[in-house]
Amino acid sequence: MKIGIDAISFDIPKLQLPIKDLAIARNIEPVKLEKGLGLLRMAMPDVHQDAITFAANAITKLVQQENLLPTDINRIYVGTESGMDASKPIASYLLAILENFFGENTMTHCDAVDLTFACIGGVDALQNCIDFVRLHPNQKAIVVCTDIAKYDLNSTGEYTQGAGAMAMLVAKDPKIISFNSKIATSAKGVFDFFKPHRIVKKEALGITNNKAWQGVLETEIEIFKEQPVFDGQYSNDCYVERTVEAYNRFKELTEIKATLYENWKAIIMHLPYSFQARRMFPEIYISDHPELSKEISKSDEDYFAKVKAFSKSDTYKAFIAERFAPAEKASSLIGNMYTGSIFMGLLSTLCYYAKTETDLTNTKLGFLAYGSGAKSKVFEGTVETGWKEAVAKTELFEVLEATTPINIDLYHGLHKKEISTSIVTPSKEWVLDSIEETEVNKLGARYYKYID
């Protein structure tokens, strides 16, 4: 029995900051970001948008696109690292939003939960839903990945920002892609990237004698920032280490003796920036290539110099053009989607090959997922017969072109939340309507509505 992704949809911000403008504002040569990292535009959330609105729009599009009924949806699993609450999951908001669409009490049968492990949470959600459908083949599940990748102004991660959501229908006999049941994992507890609750003493804020402040009676005030604490180079090292180990474990698991990546028409990896995968993969390429692994050994004193030299070779460039470039196209125009990045890479790949009239049916795609903290999962899927018609419904590249550019001043205002009015008037989308500020038992509750 085949199980996998039967349908897919997405939602991204309508606002886009040209990377060239950001580079100039930060005294960076634009070519370093455009040609070096593959960045062209950065998706920027508008005032009325957050991780819940992106998720709501993506799942609503999926429901409308596939004419789904409440009885078709038996679980909604959300992968995110942009949760709005430490208790109430985004998935619960989606239940309420779907009841708004279908009618009251139409979704009470549906299981719902959020999974968090940095950028790999969406893959964890997918794996869980595949297992669910395998046990209950007549039922379906929806996986939603939604995030806003936000970094401090002037930080080294600023130009990799982005936002958006993916929604995928998981079912038996899928039209788009089915997945091998074997998944290899490599996980280790590290601090390469994380979003801690930060502590500020009241005294540091000029609050003496532990006076109550905004209901806080403790001497300490906890602050949560959307922006992470991270070490870019260390995170890259963790990315490579975990991915290499998971890759090798997948080879062992599948008992493949030959070069594994030669079995894959395309390789889909997590893309915190467009060219991340191509820059992280050379060590895997070399280690799994019989001749190259003899020439370039980890025991060599100049190992990393040799790896870098190989990454610039014509052989590797040709490999990139075929296996990685299709997934990079959407990433260049959106930026980092965190949990959704790997699945946007999948959609970008499929839409690219559909546009170039290449038949992928029965070909295999390799998936190398990563989440900081840190974990990698490696698995593979087989493209099914209905893939081209299914992905055409998303109109991916048309949507990516129908965006509104903003200037650097507007970007700064949105980033610092100094702007209170939407830049683009909402239309046919879910928006953040209000946040409760007065009713004691509902302080902080977020309310959403659909703008037709």
Q: How far is 8 from 61, CA to CA, in rounded Å?
A: 9
What CATH class does 3-192+231-281+324-451 carry? alpha beta
For residues 76 and 95, the answer to whether their CB atoms sit within 8 Å is yes
H helical segments located in 81-210: 90-102, 121-135
Judge whether residue 301 has pLDDT over 90. Answer: no
Judge whether residue 300 has pLDDT over 90. Answer: no
The burial of 206, by beta-carbon neighbours within 10 Å (0-12 exposed, 13-18 middle, 19 or more buried), is given as exposed
The confidence score (pLDDT) of residue 117 equals: 98
Judge whether residue 378 has pLDDT over 90. Answer: yes
The confidence score (pLDDT) of residue 299 equals: 85
For residues 60 and 430, the answer to whether their CB atoms sit within 8 Å is yes
Pairing mode of beta strands 184-187, 177-179 = unpaired
Q: How far is 338 from 80, CA to CA, in rounded Å?
A: 8
231-254 pLDDT tens trace: 999 999 999 999 999 999 999 999
**Host H or E run for residue 331:** helix 325-334
The DSSP string of 30-69 is HHHHHTTS---EEEE--TT--HHHHHHHHHHHHHHHHT--
423-432 pLDDT tens trace: 999 999 999 9
The confidence score (pLDDT) of residue 298 equals: 86
Judge whether residue 297 has pLDDT over 90. Answer: no
407-448 pLDDT tens trace: 999 999 999 999 999 999 999 999 999 999 999 999 999 999
The confidence score (pLDDT) of residue 143 equals: 98
Judge whether residue 151 has pLDDT over 90. Answer: yes
Q: How far is 98 from 57, CA to CA, in rounded Å?
A: 11
Q: Could you tell me the pLDDT band of residue 210, with boundaries at 50, 70 and 90?
A: very high
Q: How far is 439 from 436, CA to CA, in rounded Å?
A: 7
Q: What share of the chain is helix, strand, coil (3-state, %, to 5)?
A: 40, 25, 35
69-90 pLDDT tens trace: 999 999 999 999 999 999 999 9
* C-alpha angle 53-54-60 in degrees, rounded to nearest 5: 85
Neighbour tally for 395: CB within 10 Å: 12
> Residues of CATH 3.40.47.10 domain(s) within the chain?
3-192+231-281+324-451
Q: How far is 324 from 161, CA to CA, in rounded Å?
A: 21
What average pLDDT does the segment 39-65 reach? Answer: 98
Query: What three-state secondary structure class fits 347?
Result: helix
